[in-house]
Amino acid sequence: MLTTEILLFILFAYLTGAFPSAVWVGKVFYKIDVREFGSGNAGATNTFRVLGKKAGVPVLIMDIFKGWICVNYILFLTNIPQSADAVFEIQLAFGIAAVIGHLFPIYTGFRGGKGIATLLGLLIGLHAVAALYSILVFVVVFLISKYVSLGSIIASVSFPVIVILILGSTNVSLNLFAFFVPILSLITHQKNIERLLRSKETKITFGKK
């Protein structure tokens, strides 16, 4: 019964992560599909780029919240495991399902964003201290470069270092997942990396549309 329940919550977490925050905000309040402008991505960064901070901030908050709330779906299980490792692994499964939902949302033809904000929400739910370190890395890189993509990439690449070397984690599941974070970031930011190398990546200035 527990296995069936977990599988149902994994599906629910995917559907939660798939909620198209950027597309919804753009169409409902601005009559614009953000996927038709800028980078063509259905994420917070492109929302900032296309519609400005009044649209970008709510989208960013919603995308982060999706990852965080899905990790906490474990609180709704009727029989929560007693093992801390089992609890962590279930939370991780829920969070990953949310990120997959954001990347490939069923509601909008499986065309989503890069998943970084939802991934951040997952990290906050799983290990808030490690997430805070990563946020600090992102902020420093972004303030210096004004490139959201570069900040996201470097923060993601630094995550395994933060978890294993700085925080000294001995949780095998967390350590393995820590190496998955930069892999996902590098894959989803492939086009951004190409533009960065050609000095053609767009800087974010938080101006108006």
Confirm if 123 and 136 have CB atoms less than 8 A apart: no
Q: Is residue 202 part of a domain?
A: no
Question: CA triplet 197, 20, 135: central angle to 5 degrees?
Answer: 50
24, pLDDT greater than 80: yes
Between CA 200 and CA 209, with CA 206 as vertex, the angle to 5 degrees is 85
Closest CA to 47 of 61, 35, 31: 35
Give per-residue pLDDT as tens, 148-193: 999 999 999 999 999 999 999 999 999 999 999 999 999 999 989 9
Is residue 207 in some structural domain?
no
pLDDT at position 200 over 70? yes
Chain mean pLDDT for the chain: 92
Per-residue pLDDT averaged across 107-121, rounded? 93
Radius of gyration of the chain (CA): 17
Q: Please check whether residue 30 lies inside any domain of the structure.
A: yes
DSSP state, residue 204: P
The pLDDT of residue 73 is above 60: yes
Q: What is the pLDDT of residue 205?
A: 65
Residue 94 lies in a domain: yes
- Asked if residue 206 belongs to a domain, the reply is no
Examine residue 203 and state whether it is found in any structural domain, yes or no. no
84 occurs within a structural domain:
yes
| CB neighbour list of residue 65: distance below 8 Å, 6 or more residues apart | 121
Give the residue from 64, 176, 55, 183 showing the smallest Cα distance to 113.
64
Angle between helices 84-103 and 116-126 (to 10 degrees): 170
Rounded Cα distance, 94 and 74, in Å = 8
What percent of the chain has a predicted confidence (pLDDT) above 90?
A: 83
Separate counts of helices (H) and strands (E) for the chain:
10, 0
Residue 209 domain flag = no
Domain count of the fold of the chain: 1
Q: Which domain holds residue 79?
A: 2-197
